Amino acid sequence: MAALAAALVLGSFLIAYRFYARFLGERIYQDQEDIVTPAHELEDGVDFVPTQRAVLFGHHFTSIAGAAPIIGPCVAAYWGWGPALAWVVLGTIFMGAAHDFGALVASVREKGRSIADITAQTISGRARILFMCFVLVLIWLVLAVFAMAIAGLFVSQPTSVIPINIQIIVAVVIGWLVYKRRVKILWPSLIALAVLYLFVWVGTKVPVDFVAMGVDQHTATTGWIIFLLIYSAIASLLPVWLLLQPRDYINSHQLFVGLGLLFLGVLIAHPNFDAPVYRTAEAGAPSIFPILFVTIACGAISGFHGLVSSGTTSKQISRLSDSRLIGYGGMLGEGSLALASTLAAVAGIGLVGACALPGQGVVDDLSWAVYYDSWAHAGGNKAAAFVLGGGAFLEAVGLSSELARTLMAVLVIAFAATSLDTATRIQRFILSELGTVLRIKPLTNPYIATIIAVVPAMYLALAETPDPATGQPRAVGWVLWPIFGASNQLLAALTLMTLALYFFARKRPVWPLVIPMLLVTPVAGLALFTNLQGFLAEGNAPLAALASLLLVLLLWMIVEGVIAAQRLRRATGAA
């Protein structure tokens, strides 16, 4: 059953790329037009660097394929496999991929400007400021949560520490060879992948376990968070060719190999779904609507992807025609990762024997019913379902249990780390654009902007506040995480609104952008409003204030968009 579902979904993705991506590219985005891209026009050897299509696909794919498309489906499996798979497929094909593709094309056409900056000419100067404020809050939260997620995996899976850090060193060496010695990147990257897998095996034999050395778990996690955010700050300032491009290209190989092994394992193990098609939520748990849609988040549509498309990818694309594979195809890759995560949670988990769960301790025989016995456990265990269930698929291929779980943990961490330093670089760009708009010169300094990008995220990751659900102290970032899914998809809706107005002004058919916007906006807005009601009922004033602020920004942006649409309609009619 699971193998058939995988084949049907992957087949749907191939058909969508063949036909729907072509329709979008030819009729709306005109992606075959021969223009000078910002990578060539503004080439500076640091951020604007013309890049081979395969290498840039690797960067874009792994930057958007962070922890969210893994964590989200793992949590959403609480409601059964039917709703999760349906949203991954429909959201990816008709919403997420169209959104990412459009943001990339628009940014390339506007000299690599971010989608937030493009809002100024499309809607209004006020809308640009509102959009940038929305983006700043979202990225600070992304940085904090991804750093905490990676740190938690380093502590719980100490076998992953050595391979992840070795990959950084190898990537820098390859970047130097390719851009300074003009060595072709394919073979060095494949050798680097082999080195990475060698050190995955080394990591299983020599785990870097600070807890086993006597450091308490909280201190070890805190140390890793600080290390990761300092690393992301340094990495975001390096030229893209030195670390970002080669590391992401290696990661794209790793993801293809990892996904290939996972789907091969599904085919060999041929498991049935261990979960029901649909499960009614228990008393006290959130209802499936609208929370399912914002829980899966990046596995279907994500505003963060538009920031990657217009923040880093557009500055490296060599030809506009490359945008179809990179923008639309990259989101299909993310949908495939969300598919693998869902299958691990609803089918692979039934193949797991005795194991330790983050929120439940040691269980003798794992199953979907045990893992998802409550909403609290589903939300607390997060990506463990992917590591355990996916590891079971890899065991079917012939890997040992320990090696399989290490490989899965490395897969999760590698992509989360990629998103971490890409997000830091994007935050620097946004702060610089904001500094230019507001005439605050220090913000245009890359070092000052990077510090401002990282310090608030470090506060969110390290400071603690009472968890509204349990009353126990918890990192501020994790407490704010329920807002992320809703605000991330609201950002996607605002991006779709900007793109619809941008291409409408150029007299293109924009219904493929307007329809997703009209669907996503009320769902994400309702989810945020639901969060607000919960915060008010719990008496959590800070979270209620933040949710209220985001809702106000959303409503303001919608008003600005309606005014801009009317203005464009009058101008078009006059013409």
The CA distances from residue 3 to 270, 296, 314, 348, 436, in Å, are 6, 21, 36, 11, 52
- With pLDDT > 90 as the criterion, what percentage of the chain qualifies? 37
390-440: pLDDT as tens digits: 888 998 988 888 888 788 878 778 777 888 888 899 999 899 988 988 889
In sequence order, the β-bridge partners of residue 545 are: none
pLDDT at 336 over 90: yes
Say whether 398 sits in a helix, a strand or coil. coil
For 265, 278, 340, the CA distances from 260, given in Å and listed in that order, are 8, 28, 10
At 56 the pLDDT is 92
Q: How far apart are CA 465 and CA 476, in angstroms?
A: 6
Torsion on CA atoms 304, 322, 411, 192, rounded to nearest 10: -140
Q: Is 520:496 a contact under the CB 8 Å cutoff?
A: yes
For 541-563, write each residue's pLDDT tens digit.
777 888 888 888 888 888 888 89
Question: Range with the lowest mean pLDDT among 21-25, 51-55, 405-409, 454-458?
Answer: 405-409
Query: Is 87 in contact with 79 (CB distance < 8 Å)?
Result: no
Is 338 in contact with 87 (CB distance < 8 Å)? no
pLDDT for 572 equals 67
pLDDT of residue 87: 95
Does the pLDDT of residue 534 top 90, yes or no?
A: no
Model confidence over 37-64: pLDDT tens digits? Answer: 999 999 998 889 999 898 899 889 988 8
Taking CA atoms, 98 is separated from 225, 442, 514, 560, in Å, by 34, 36, 11, 23
Residue found by looking up tokens 């893992």 in the block: 371
pLDDT at 341: 92
In our burial notation (b when 16+ CB lie closer than 10 A, e otherwise), range 121-134 reads: ebbbeebbbbbbbb
At residue 359, the pLDDT reads 60
CA dist 445 and 262 (Å) reads 44
What would the mean pLDDT of 254-281 be, rounded to a whole number?
Answer: 89
Q: Where are the domains of the chain?
A: 2-574
Continuous H helices in 349-475: 368-371, 375-381, 384-397, 401-438, 446-462
For 240, list phi and psi in degrees, rounded to 5: -60, -30
| Amino acid identity, position 458 | M
Interhelix angle 2-23/244-269, nearest 10 degrees: 140
Q: Kindly report the CA angle at 37 between 20 and 39, in degrees rounded to 5?
A: 115
How far does CA 63 lie from the centroid of its chain? Answer: 7
351-357 contacts at long range (C-beta below 8 A, 24 or more positions apart): 351/269, 351/271, 351/389, 351/392, 351/393, 351/395, 351/396, 352/388, 352/389, 352/391, 352/392, 355/388, 357/381, 357/384
CB-side exposure of 162: number of CA atoms within 13 Å? 16
pLDDT of residue 125: 82
Mean pLDDT of the region 309-325: 94
Output the CA torsion sign for 345, 350, 352, 353. positive
Q: pLDDT band at 573, cuts 50/70/90?
A: low
pLDDT(233) > 60:
yes
Contact, 120 vs 113, CB < 8 A?
no
Collapsed DSSP state (helix, strand, coil) of residue 466: strand
DSSP-assigned letter for residue 498 = H
* Residue 220, pLDDT above cutoff 90: yes
Torsions phi, psi of 515, nearest 5? -60, -50
CB 266 within 8 A of CB 343: yes
The predicted structure's pLDDT at residue 50 = 93
What pLDDT shows up at residue 556? 85
Write down the mean pLDDT value for the chain: 87
Band of pLDDT at residue 360, cut at 50, 70 and 90? low
Please, which residues bridge with residue 466 across strands? 473
- Quick one: CA torsion of 478, 482, 486, 489, rounded to 10 degrees? 40
- In angstroms, rounded to a whole number, what is the distance separating the alpha carbons of residues 394 and 400? 8
**What's the distance, Cα to Cα, between the start and end of the chain in Å?**
56
> What is the Cα–Cα distance from 390 to 291, expressed in whole angstroms?
25
pLDDT digits (tens, 9 = 90+) for 124-164: 888 888 888 888 888 898 898 889 888 888 888 888 889 88
Cis peptide before 69 (omega within 30 of 0): no
Whole-angstrom Cα distance, residue 73 to residue 87?
10
* Number of C-beta neighbours around residue 440 at 10 A: 12
Q: Which of 231-235, 506-510, 537-541 has the lowest mean pLDDT?
A: 537-541
Q: What's the whole-number mean pLDDT along residues 362-381?
A: 80
Query: Would you call 519 helix, strand, or coil by DSSP?
Result: helix
What pTM did the predictor assign?
0.89
Highest mean pLDDT among 177-186, 251-260, 306-315: 306-315
- For residue 181, the 8-state DSSP code is S
C-alpha span between 8 and 13 (Å, rounded): 9
- Second-level CATH architecture of 2-574: Up-down Bundle (1.20)
CB atoms within 10 A of CB 219: 12
Q: How does residue 243 score in pLDDT terms, banded at 50, 70 and 90?
A: confident
What is the total residue count of the chain? 575
Does pLDDT of 67 surpass 80? no
Q: In percent, how much of the chain has pLDDT > 70? A: 97
